[in-house]
Homo-oligomer: A and B are copies of this chain.
Amino acid sequence: MTSPIVAVIGGGQLARMMTPAATALGITLRILVESDEASAAAAAHETVVGLPTDPDAVQRVLASPRPDVVTWEHEHIPAEVFEACEAAGVPARPGLGALRFAQDKIEMRRRMDQLGLPNPAWREVATLADIEEFLAAHGGEAVLKTARGGYDGKGVRVISDAADARDWIESAADGGPRLLVEQKVPFVRELAVQIARRPSGDARAWPVVESIQRDGVCSEVTAPAPGLDPTLARQAEGIARTIAAELDVTGALAVELFETAEGLVINELAMRPHNSGHWTIDGSVTSQFEQHLRAVLDLPLGDTSATAPWTVMANVLGGARTDLPSALAETADPGAKVHLYGKGVRPGRKVGHVTVSGDEAESTYARAVAAAAIVRDGGAA
């Protein structure tokens, strides 16, 4: 049989976790990895070593047999890559017309405003005076962000004094990333909703989840979000559907949301499989990785139902240890699904995750957190 070829730019754990789904579906995954040591390198069906900024490497990704489609596992894709895809006649999904809203937070906020979707108060800032003005109008505290390049808490700073922004303002004036400030949203908790959309328009969402962040990094995700008002759940899915359709997103889209006393507020967008959707590997009929591949190939989308009443995903972050214990040997919980990313351990770096499904939310959460701690720190015994 002819095997579809999907090219993926970026060799981190998101590309790595696409490979099991690709293998099952008979899809060949050709991954542009930064090095042979990249998380996705050994798992890939075919690898090209290089960076997306290297035109030769991009040409090798597009070489014959040509991929059916090119997709991304991160947003840091130069416009030249899209041009190379177009020249080669290979569709790039999501396209730059969509991805730029995930690349640039100012573009994103502006577009959400145009669509009438719930933004926090925000503005682009270029001077300390701009920031002072915003702080004065919003209770003396705000979130300063670089428009581009941020992730996992990087490129984000909570400020209560314009002077705290001096270095970034100077950098922006010097050609560095543009800046925006956002109201510090008084949220009850953080939610996320995942959806995937085909070029032909069909889209399917997963149940809305609760996401717990620690130090700006996703720590645990509970699916579905416990006790979520069904009206808010429908509203969250509606926001995701609107963004996917109006921005012409193809593939996976994650919308991170704040739940406040007044309703939902959009936090961030990601146009790729996302940490808040890792639970779907073990907790949904169709994982976000399989669905992303189906969507970018314009194949029918799979069922997004949960397979258990509760599923909790807990990230494993590298601690002070320089190597991980044999995670399985020490994880006493036989129902804990362990996912390791094959990455060197550095403090705070995401090196794996653990998923547990169960019939009751609190005990399932406790099991997932306990198993992740053992994977990270080793067993107490």
Give the interface of A toward B (CB within 8 A).
1-4, 16, 19-20, 23-26, 28, 42-43, 45-46, 204, 281, 285-286, 294, 297, 299-303, 305, 307-308, 323-324, 326-329, 331-332, 334-335, 337-342, 344-345, 351-352, 357
Contacts and interface: CB of A to CB of B under 8 A. Distances in A.
Question: In the assembly, how many copies of this chain are there?
Answer: 2
A18 B344 CA distance: 24
A26 B327 contact: yes
Contacts of A324: 1
B285 A357 contact: yes
B42 A43 contact: no
A313 to B, nearest CB: 13
Contacts of A307: 307-308, 357
Nearest to A298: B329
Contacts of A294: 328
Given A294-B328, A357-B285, A26 B303 contact: no
Contacts of A46: 42
Contact of A328 (B300, B308, B338, B342): B300
A334 B295 CA distance: 13
Given A20-B24, A307-B357, A340 B1 contact: yes
A301 to B, nearest CB: 7
A60 B349 CA distance: 35
Contact of A334 (B42, B43, B300, B340): B300
A300 B327 contact: no
Given A285-B334, A305-B335, 11 more contacts: A2-B323, A3-B342, A24-B338, A24-B339, A26-B327, A26-B340, A28-B42, A43-B45, A285-B357, A297-B328, A300-B332
Contacts of A337: 24, 285
A351 to B, nearest CB: 8
A305 to B, nearest CB: 8
Contact of A323 (B1, B299, B323): B1
Contacts of A328: 25, 294, 297, 299-300
Contacts of A344: 1
A312 to B, nearest CB: 14
A308 to B, nearest CB: 7
In order of increasing CB-CB distance, the 4 nearest A-B pairs are A20-B20, A26-B340, A1-B324, A303-B335
Nearest to A321: B1
A331 B300 contact: yes
A283 to B, nearest CB: 9
A42 B328 CA distance: 26
Contact of A299 (B329, B335, B340): B329
Contacts of A16: 23
Contacts of A338: 24-25
A285 B342 contact: no
